[in-house]
Amino acid sequence: MKKIFTILLTLTIGLTSFSQIDFNNYKHLYKKTCYGSGPTYYTTRKLNVYESMSTESAISSEIPSGVAVEVTNSFFGEHGWWEVCYWGETGWVKKAYLTKKQPVQKTPTYQDDSDNSSINSTDQDTDVGFEPFLAKANTSANFRTAPSKSSSVIRQLPAGTQLYIFSKQDANGFYKAIDIKTGKIGWVSKSLVKWTGEADINYSGAFRSTGSTSNYNSDVIIRNKSSYQITLVVGGQTFYLSPNSTETKSISPGQMYYIATAPGVIPTSGYQTFGSYQGYEWEFWVETRRY
């Protein structure tokens, strides 16, 4: 009998309800993963990340200047290369452009090619609303850090790359998106993607109430019980949780949309109403089942 491996994303809702996401097709799409167990270094310039210790090898991604990475292999330092962990994936970079000293950060602005409007964009909290759908790159496309052609490229998306689009509302001709293969959030030109289906939306919420608190904002305990780095978007806020970790976040009361994803996982999303002086908890884990 044919064996099918299925990975399920489960969100706790009370004691018995849960949502399941099948991502058969994504389990083995991405290369060696990592979670950062070595010393922290910082990039002194924008760096290409190579799949091997050669500038002739494929470029898997790009790291902006001033970003922290974990050095996972320094054995080949005498040859000028270190293996680093960045966004949950390993790759090789030039050792000469890494430093132990954390640089002073400056907030860059980017100019849109069409109207020269200024875009302040080093984070991914720019809110474009919530009307999600699934799509794919209909040709090779740059996946960027901001809705601007002059912003840094996170990676080049091959044609056919599966995407989760936040909203039909664009920003300067770019869609805010999740690259399902890597779980990263970025921006892609709306002209280079094709709609493939509606995204499932859970209107009943996925955060369990834990009772009253002394804080006006909602205290949300987030437990990542998986071996994946997860990304959780709540309204305009984006949270990143390391594998097997627990964190408490403060979220403004009101109805918010949420999106949860991990590398290789089709995002799950919905709406949640957070009450003032109330606590909540949310759990994430991945189950592997064989049929």
First to last CA, the chain: 9
Is 77 found in the same domain as 138?
no
Q: 3-state SS of 236-258? A: CEEEEECCCEEEEEEECCEEEEE
3-state helix/strand/coil string of the chain: CCCCEEEEEEECECCCECCCCCCHHHCCCCCCECCCCCCEEEECCCEEEECCCCCCCCEEEEECCCCEEEEEECCCHHHCEEEEEECCEEEEEEHHHEECCCCCCCCCEEECCCCCCEEECCCCCCCCCCCCEEEEECCCEEEECCCCCCCCEEEEECCCCEEEECCCCCECCEEEEEECCCCEEEEEEHHHEEEEEECCEECCCCCEEEEECCCCCEEEEEEECCCCCEEEEECCEEEEECCCEEEEEEECCEEEEEEEECCCCCCEEEEEEECCCEEEEEEEEEEEEEC
One domain, residues 285 and 207: yes
Q: 269 and 190 in one domain?
A: no
Angle at 98 between CA 97 and CA 102, to 5 degrees: 125
Which residues pair with residue 137 across a beta bridge?
Answer: 193
Task: Give the residue from 150, 172, 197 where a domain finishes.
Answer: 197
Report how many domains make up the chain.
Answer: 3
> Is 280 within the bounds of a domain?
yes
Copy the structure tokens of residue 80. 């000028």
pLDDT at 69: 84
Domain CATH for 79: 2.30.30.40
pLDDT tens track, the chain, 291 positions: 433 333 344 443 232 223 333 333 333 333 455 655 678 888 888 888 888 888 888 888 888 888 888 888 877 766 788 888 877 778 899 888 888 887 665 443 333 333 333 333 434 557 788 899 999 999 999 999 999 999 999 999 999 999 999 999 889 999 999 999 999 999 999 999 999 999 999 988 899 999 999 999 999 999 998 888 899 999 878 888 988 999 999 998 888 899 999 988 889 999 999 999 999 999 887 655 444
Taking a C-beta distance cutoff of 8 angstroms, is the pair 183, 264 a contact?
yes
Evaluate whether residue 11 is within a structural domain: no
205 in the same domain as 184: no
Residue where one domain finishes, among candidates 182, 197, 212? 197
Residue 51 sits in which domain range?
Answer: 40-99
Which residue's structure tokens are 């949502």?
19
Give me the phi and psi of 78, to 5 degrees please: -65, -15
Torsion sign (Cα): 187, 190, 192, 196: positive
28 located within any domain: no
174, with CB counted inside 10 A (0-12, 13-18, 19+), is buried
In the prediction, which pLDDT does 32 show?
Answer: 56
Neighbours of 1 (CB within 10 A): 4
Q: Is residue 82 part of a domain?
A: yes
Task: Identify residue 111 by its one-letter amino acid code.
Answer: Q
CA gap 44, 65 in Å, rounded: 5
* Residue 6 located in a structural domain: no
Asked whether residue 114 is assigned to any structural domain, the reply reads no
**CB 148, CB 117: distance < 8 Å:** no
